[in-house]
């Protein structure tokens, strides 16, 4: 499964955002270096900013640069003017989208998509299609569309409103797979009910060819499947990092956030500064001996860092391990002395705590080395 990173487009559509050309280019290059399959950089019809960012990324990156376009000539022409490698044409097929958003019949919508795809290809780009609200569309309509667009390399099924859970995702994909296979099918999820990453992984298990992701879930409303979550879960659960360089994952995501002026909550999975910190006495004592007892994965495998903290919350077991590590006999008196000192001076990381412990007992009669 390839990853289509949509951070630059989805993130820029969040309220109050206006990423600059330079920010998009820098972030896009970082994602390209990480190894994502595609970089969806913007919506060219919205203005010259997105057109210039796409133009530059198309010329300066290895990953194909994707431009989003509605199924209208002006949008496609804007994407072609931006020199996008891929024009991703969007069109809805669900009843409510056709009636209340597009105002056309399903046949008319299909014809619009056909014209847009042909226009993009005639203009020298590769054309993909994204079906809006696909997970609330009868599968027979999705299958019929896929059959009529057999020339399109990727057809993405979008859970536009983030309404689906893994069982319904698996069910719809099974229906599509039985009819036309999934080797050209991509997926696009939103995190409105907190299941975007789970849905993307469900789609991977089903056999889809591509999934849309975004750094730290940046995107409209609750965002999209988090790039970092999908990669870590894929690597640890399924043995696949989807083509990206695992050890550069966290630094790259942090760089992208920095380029775009974004930040994450300290408890955000994978990227939050507190999610790999441990201060509980029971946890730190065990993790000094074997980190995996309280970790789902080694953060270093993905470019992150583990931090064990020692201070007021440190327990006797952890204090004993610290004393043993620096060659001091962990007698009850030594343990209590160290706990009092850590409570006064902490919290501190492992290396600092070891140096602190060593210094506390270096010149005392209690040292047994």
What value does the mean pLDDT take over residues 190-208? 98
Q: What is the pLDDT of residue 299?
A: 95
List the alpha helices (DSSP H) in 61-192: 73-81, 95-97, 106-122, 139-148, 166-180
Query: Residue 265: is its pLDDT beyond 60?
Result: yes
Nearest Cα to 246, choosing from 229, 232, 227?
232
Q: What is the rounded distance in angstroms from the CA atom of residue 56 to the CA atom of residue 299?
A: 34
pLDDT above 90 covers what percent of the chain?
83
> Of all helices (H) and strands (E), which one includes residue 38?
strand 38-42
The domain ranges of the chain are 2-260, 277-361
Query: For the domain 2-260, what is the CATH code?
Result: 3.20.20.70
What value does the mean pLDDT take over residues 168-178? 98
Q: Quick: pLDDT tens for 220-243.
A: 999 999 999 999 999 999 999 999
Taking phi first (over 0 means left), then psi (-120 to 50 degrees means alpha), and beta for anything else, what does residue 16 get? left
pLDDT level of residue 104 (50, 70, 90 thresholds): confident
Q: What is the pLDDT of residue 369?
A: 47
Query: Residue 368: is its pLDDT beyond 80?
Result: no
């Amino acid at each position: 499964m390839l990853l289509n990173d949509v951070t630059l487009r989805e993130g820029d559509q969040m309220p109050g955002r206006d990423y600059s050309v330079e920010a998009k280019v820098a972030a896009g290059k970082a994602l390209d270096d990480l190894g994502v399959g595609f970089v969806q950089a913007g919506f060219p019809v919205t203005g010259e900013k997105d057109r210039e960012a796409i133009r530059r990324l198309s010329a300066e990156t290895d990953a194909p640069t994707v431009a989003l376009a509605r199924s209208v000539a002006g949008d496609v022409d804007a994407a072609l003017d931006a020199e996008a490698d891929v024009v991703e044409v969007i069109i809805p097929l669900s009843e409510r989208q056709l009636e209340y958003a597009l105002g056309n019949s399903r046949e008319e919508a299909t014809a619009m998509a056909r014209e847009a795809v042909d226009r993009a290809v005639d203009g020298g780009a590769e054309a993909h299609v994204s079906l809006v609200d696909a997970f609330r569309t009868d599968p027979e309509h999705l299958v019929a569309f896929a059959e009529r667009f057999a020339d399109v390399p990727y057809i993405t099924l979008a859970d536009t409103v983030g309404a689906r859970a893994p069982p319904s995702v698996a069910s719809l994909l099974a229906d599509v797979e039985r009819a036309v296979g999934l080797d050209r099918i991509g997926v696009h999820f939103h995190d409105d009910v907190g299941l975007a990453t789970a849905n993307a992984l469900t789609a991977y298990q089903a056999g889809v060819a591509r999934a849309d992701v975004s750094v730290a879930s940046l995107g409209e409303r609750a965002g999209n499947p988090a790039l970092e979550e999908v990669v870590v879960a894929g690597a640890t659960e399924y043995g696949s990092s989807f083509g990206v360089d695992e050890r550069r994952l966290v630094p790259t995501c942090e760089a992208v956030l920095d380029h775009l002026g974004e930040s994450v909550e300290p408890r955000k999975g994978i990227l939050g500064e507190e999610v790999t910190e441990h201060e509980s006495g029971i946890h730190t004592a065990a993790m000094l001996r074997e980190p995996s007892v309280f970790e789902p994965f080694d953060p270093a495998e993905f470019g992150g860092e583990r931090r064990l903290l020692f201070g007021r919350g440190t327990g006797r077991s952890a204090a004993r391990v610290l004393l043993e590590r620096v060659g001091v006999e962990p007698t009850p008196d030594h343990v209590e002395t160290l706990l009092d000192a850590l409570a006064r001076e902490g919290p501190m990381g492992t290396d600092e705590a070891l140096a602190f412990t060593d210094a506390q007992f270096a010149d005392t009669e209690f040292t047994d080395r």
